[in-house]
Amino acid sequence: MLLKTLFYIFTFAISASVASYLKLIVDRYDSDDSVIFKPSYCPSCKEKLLWWQNIPILSFFLLKGKCSFCGVKIKSEYFITELLIALVVSGLVSVAIRDKLAFPQMLLFVYFVFALILLVLFDLKHKIIPHFISYTSILVLMVAVSLLDKSFILPVINLGVLFLCVDYFIGFVAWILKKESDFNLISVPLVLWLMIFFFYQNIILVSIPIILYFLAVKFLSFGKKLNTILWFLSFVLIMTLFVKALFVDFDISLIKDLFVGVGLIYLFCEILFYLIGIQFLNLRVPNQDSKAETAVVLGGGDVTVLAIISVFLGFKIAFLSLFLASILGLFVFLLQFIYKRLINTKNIKLESEYAHYVPFVPYIVLACFIIIMIY
């Protein structure tokens, strides 16, 4: 009993320390300050903090909520962030112990939890999800899961199913609402793969559209209407291949092979292309405006968070997290709306607070953690 108590105290302390560092990463995102080499300092007087002033949670009480150098109040968000994350991680670790995860799986699970928490902090503070962090997390989890399970197929399928279904969902919603969607040019290798797979059910052949995409991406340039047509064509081909596999070939394993190819296309043409081509080789995709706003339900950052969940826990848990997150988001929205109505006693016109960006990643991650707790 004593050892178990000490373990949870240790877990809480480590989680609070990691939470403090994650908060530092998020706070310094828009600055030139190093997150590794530059020590913590007071944001008001810029004085370097002493070691005991950096102790997570406790330092807030030791300093009585004020900087010991200039006397400016310390924002309570630091204390709240460290405490909440430490409690959440400790609770999730207890669930992992309950499920008797082996030590390597436990480490990977903790990495998965902290990766999601970091993206939540980014969404709350900066209203963005850095693709470099989310895509790197996807890649790390895919490699680690493949090594632990001794199979590369399942995480690739989970990646392909999630990305493809969400892309279709976004496109369908955009079409219904008559809004523009930020479809990318991955529709080109996707359509090529589906056409090849119709005649030759060989996964190795997926290398053809992937290689062609990397060679020709700098020269691909066409309007959004043509891109939308390609996505529609890919949907028709997917449905055709489903019918062919189930009612003509009577081989359901062909669907698995189909999505292995789809997952590899997203892995190479989306994730690795971004990490290697855009980040390090300065490649750019024509007609892709990274700042273009859409009126679609999900943003690109939300999709990458769902992809992280799908790769690690499976696409079923990812879709369930999306469903539960939508319910949680709707519940919070209704509470905010009712509260605004109640305090609006003078019939003053309400500000349009619901038309602008609303962080959705916190709801996705909260839903995922709830499912883990009760699953």
Q: What is the pTM of this model?
A: 0.90
**Dihedral, CA of residue 22, residue 23, residue 25 and residue 28, to nearest 10:** 180
Tokens encoding 280: 């390090």
- The identity of residue 352, as a single letter, is S
Angle between helices 2-27 and 76-98 in degrees, nearest 10: 130
Evaluate whether 24 touches 35 at the Cβ level (below 8 Å): yes
Domain positions in the chain are 2-100, 183-273
Instruction: Give, for all 375 residues of the chain, the pLDDT tens digit.
Output: 788 889 889 999 999 999 999 999 999 998 888 888 888 888 888 888 888 888 999 998 988 888 888 888 988 899 999 999 999 999 999 999 988 899 999 999 999 999 999 999 999 999 899 999 999 999 999 999 999 988 899 999 999 999 999 988 888 887 787 666 555 678 889 999 999 999 999 999 999 999 998 887 766 665 677 778 888 999 999 999 999 999 998 888 999 999 999 999 999 999 998 888 766 666 665 444 333 333 445 667 899 999 999 999 999 999 999 999 999 999 988 888 887 777 765 444 444 444 456 789 999 999 999 999 987
Residue of 107, 19, 119 whose CA lies nearest to 312: 107
**What are the phi and psi torsion angles at 113 (to 5°)?**
-65, -45
Tokens encoding 303: 């999709």
